[in-house]
Amino acid sequence: MMGVRAGEDRVTLIAGGAIAAGILLIWEILGDSYGTVRLLLSSPLRTCSYVAAHFGESAAAFLYTGLESVVGLLVATAFALAFGALCVYLPRVGSISFPLLVASQVIPMVCLAPMIILVFGPGPSGKVFLSALVAFFPILTNIIAGIRSVPSASQEMMRIMAATKAQAIRHVVIPHCADHFFAGMRIAAPLSVIGAIIAEFNGADVGIGKDIFISAKRLEPELMMSGIAAGAILSGVIYGGVQLLERRLGSWYWER
């Protein structure tokens, strides 16, 4: 059974790799042959040469945006955990504030970026704030769904055992919430990168968003494509980090 699964995984990997290689090849041929394509999309080899020639700046932008996104994700997680617990354990507070929070989500967070940069200035704090703002809601809704999914029988059993609130949270609530929590984190991970990049569009000294923004002004397609690629890699890295953490902390449910 395991052999069949491993074989299927290998086929999927090879097929995915072949499709990606095919797209890159077509892009390279078109970028090399047509001036318009080269002006708009550059080509993979030209983009790679550009990154090699400007490695220091590209790496700095990647690390800077990466740090803003990770800190934003952590801040969003901390606030979502605190607010989720508040909503469930102080239902009155939850019933008043949660609808307001849902209503606040009708404002596209992208629209807030210029205002946030005005308030926080061009430094990293504004980027972290927007990144956290975008990542917060999916984590929160999943945490609340997780806490509400805890079976009442499990809680009653802890009551009969006279377990403390902390013991009940540790042994019943957290294990039941873990899969919901990580589902929210997996959605929020790429969103935190989007939040940081959008904030950088509106004013930054360094970062992937700044690179993409100025590339359009200066008509530098290599810079734009390297920025887009860096953003995608960064989202993948943070998503992978969340998945790694999930496997490490929640191995007891990962194997289900």
| Residues of this chain that bind another protein (CB under 8 A) | 151, 153-154, 156-157, 159-163, 167, 171-172, 174-176, 178, 252-253, 255-256
Q: Which is nearer to another protein, 104 or 167 (CB)?
A: 167
Q: Which is nearer to another protein, 217 or 256 (CB)?
A: 256
Q: Is the Cβ–Cβ distance between 207 and 196 less than 8 Å?
A: yes
The tokens of 254 are what? 């990962």
Q: How far is the CB of 244 from another protein (least distance, A)?
A: 18
Q: Give the span between the Cα atoms of 134 and 238, in whole angstroms.
A: 15
Q: DSSP assignment of 212-224, as one string?
A: HHHHHHHT-HHHH
Q: Which is nearer to another protein, 163 or 229 (CB)?
A: 163
Q: How far is the CB of 70 from another protein (least distance, A)?
A: 26
Q: Which is nearer to another protein, 100 or 166 (CB)?
A: 166
Q: Is the Cβ–Cβ distance between 211 and 51 less than 8 Å?
A: no
| 107 Rama class: left (phi>0) / alpha (psi -120 to 50) / beta | beta
Q: How far is the CB of 48 from another protein (least distance, A)?
A: 45
Q: How far is the CB of 255 from another protein (least distance, A)?
A: 7
Q: Which is nearer to another protein, 105 or 167 (CB)?
A: 167
Q: Give the span between the Cα atoms of 203 and 125, in whole angstroms.
A: 12
Only one residue has tokens 């080509």, namely 43
Q: How far is the CB of 189 from another protein (least distance, A)?
A: 23
